[in-house]
Structure 1
Amino acid sequence: MPTATQEALADEKEKSILEEHKQRFSAMKLAPDDIEPCDANGEKLVAGTRVQLFGLQARPDLNNTYGRIVTYNTERGRFGVQREEMLEGNGQITFGWVDMEVEAPMAVKPEKLRIAPRLPAAIGTAAGSRRAHAQDAKYVLDWLDSGGHIEARHPVNHDTVLTLACAVGASTLVSALVERGADVEARAKNETTPLMYAAFGGHAEIVRTLLSGGARVDAVNGDGRTALSDATRANHVEVAAMLREAAAAGSGEPR
């Protein structure tokens, strides 16, 4: 479980990031004073709000991606969303904006947006603990009980507490999260699902839990891989057999 010092440092870093965003957009007027534009859930959106895009038909490749609200067109009823991108280099992952001079903000309908709940750094650390101690699981569940959002996303890799727990084999935490209604199809970096994380890690108990919770065997990530192909590639024989059986009982071979 993160120490008080680690939590304080993580909180200060997040406050700094939020303050930077607030200052960046403070001069922008999003809409007339008598208009309060909202997202699909009816939550008020202001300039700088981080949002998730979903249900896009013209650009399905951008579904489950993120951006920031920068403008609002009152005549068309569209938000201007500046897309976020993930950058990798020298073994490090950073998170940044697509330059407005390179790519103009996207015009998106309010019903295609929802505010992206933020996963606190300390909670992400606990959920993704390699040791996966029971105290880490309790720390995450206590956070949820105190009002934390079960689908909150890591600001860099877009992981939820479920995808993080699946990746490290925290079976007890995964079971508790699935019971609480966590989205077993939540897509993280490169469209990776919790089942893919668990299959690649060879976590048979977690794979069984996810399948019981309705996880799709035929889901495909950004590289065209499935949970079965990941398990096979990592030589996890038991998990691969489990996935083949699930696929045969469902819609045939994974695609």
Structure 2
Amino acid sequence: MSYRNKWVKTCNTIFPEGEQLKLGFKDSKNLLLFEGIQECNPYKVMRAVKEGANVNYISPRSGLGMLHIAIIRGDPKIVYYLLKFKADPNLKDKAGLDPLTHSVICNNLEICQHLINAGADVLATDPYMRTALMRAALQGNPYITCLLLEKGAEVNARDYMKKTPLMYGAMGGNRDTILVLLHFGANSRLKSSEGYTASIYAELFESFEACYIISNYSKLKKAEDFDAVLRVYKNPVIAAPYSTL
């Protein structure tokens, strides 16, 4: 099971079927908004907002806000409208995760784009000092990795274990993600608090191609057309803004 699927499965346990679904939403307006998000119904979302629902409400039961729930639900259109209705793109859930981190975990490039356009902080960290870029690198998503770096993410950021995005990329083992990180200046010589470099993490996780690329990047970039690879990820096709409801 992928990292993303494990996360969604975990989050879905927060919202079991039946009456349990409604716990934490005693206010009828917020409940209406929650139902609109769950049903991916923008008209119900708009109705709830017009009736006074709080788009930044955090459920005491799940610890998640309306925007986090919409991101986990996975409909970019609902996320887009919530942001238009002034949902806070940097509001953290009770676990300390911001919306951008949720969208990266869910591997949703379009939602990431909507959040960044609305002002999401690409430098935000979780309680363990992990950034959205680190999670994108671990998941091996070169599109999101490139987007975050182009929008100002720190390529050599360090978490509480002094791990960098490149180290997470090495653990993920995706060739193109590693190339994107190196292109943006990832330092392969940095060591974590365990004393390991990115290439060592690649070996430990049996990502042998990643290990080879990291160790020989300066030579490889002269011999291979890596620019062609990077061009693919620098200009992904993102859906146009949705019409006004």
| 2:115 pairs with one of 156, 177, 180 | 177
Q: Give distance in 2, aligned partners of 1:9 and 1:151.
A: 28
Superposed CA deviations along residues 3-52 of structure 1, whole A, max 9, x for unmatched, are: x998x967742669xxxxxxxxxxxxxxxxxxxxxxxxxxxxxxxxxxxx
Correspondences of 1:121-140 after superposition (within 5 Å): 122-129=66-73, 132=74, 136-140=75-79
CA distance in 2: counterparts of 1:9 and 1:141, whole angstroms: 27
Residue 141 (1) aligns with residue 80 (2):
yes
Q: Is the 8 A contact 2:67 2:87 kept in 1?
A: no
- What is the match of residue 166 of structure 2? 228
TM-superposition CA deviations, 1:28-83 (whole Å, max 9, x none): xxxxxxxxxxxxxxxxxxxxxxxxxxxxxxxxxxxxxxxxxxxxxxxxxxxxxxxx
Match of 2:130 among 174, 192, 203: 192
Q: Give the structure 2 partner of residue 154 of structure 1.
A: 93
Label 1:138 to 1:190 Cα distance change in 2 as closer, same or farther (>3 A). same
Q: Using a 3 Å threshold, how does the CA distance of structure 1 residues 238 and 140 change in structure 2: closer, same or farther? A: same
- 2:119 match: secondary structure: coil
Deviation at 1:154, TM superposition (A): 0.7
User: Does residue 19 of structure 2 align to residue 13 of structure 1?
Assistant: no
CA distance in 2, matches of 1:232, 1:158: 25
Runs of 4+ in 1 over 4 A off after TM superposition: 8-12, 251-255
Matching residue of 2:57: none
Q: Distance in 2 between matches of 1:180 and 1:171?
A: 14
d(CA) in 2 for partners of 1:210, 1:190: 19
The equivalent of 1:213 in structure 2 is: 151
Structure 1 vs Structure 2 CA RMSD: 3.4
The 2-side partners of 1:228 and 1:146 are apart by 36
| Equivalent pair of 1:137/1:172 in contact (CA under 8 Å) | yes
Helix, strand or coil: the match of 1:13?
A: coil
The within-5 A match list for 1:31-110 is: none
Q: Secondary structure at the match of 2:24?
A: helix
Q: How big is each residue's C-alpha offset from its partner over 1:188-243, in whole Å with a ceiling of 9 and x where there is no partner?
A: 14111010111111111001100100000111111221111011012112111211
- Separation (CA, whole Å) in 2 of partners of 1:176 and 1:14: 26
Residues in 1 aligned to 2:21 and 2:93: alpha-carbon distance in whole angstroms? 12
In structure 2, C-alpha distance between the alignment counterparts of 1:13 and 1:194, rounded to whole Å? 28
d(CA) in 1 for partners of 2:72, 2:76 = 10
Q: Give the aligned residue type for 1:234.
A: G
- SS of the residue corresponding to residue 128 of structure 2 reads helix
Determine if contact 1:119/1:152 at 8 Å carries over to the other structure. Answer: no
Task: Name the SS for the 1:126 alignment partner.
Answer: helix
SS of the residue corresponding to residue 209 of structure 1 reads: helix
For 2:105, the aligned partner's letter is A
**Larger strand fraction of residues:** 1
Instruction: Give, in angstroms, the shift of residue 173 of structure 1.
Output: 0.8
Counterparts of 1:191 and 1:10 in 2: how far apart (Å)?
A: 32
User: Is the contact made by 1:217 and 1:254 (CA closer than 8 Å) also made in structure 2?
Assistant: no
Kindly, what percent of the aligned residue pairs are identical?
A: 22
Contact 1:244/1:253 (<8 A) preserved: no
Tell me what 1:46 maps to. none
Distance across 2 between alignment mates of 1:10 and 1:224: 39
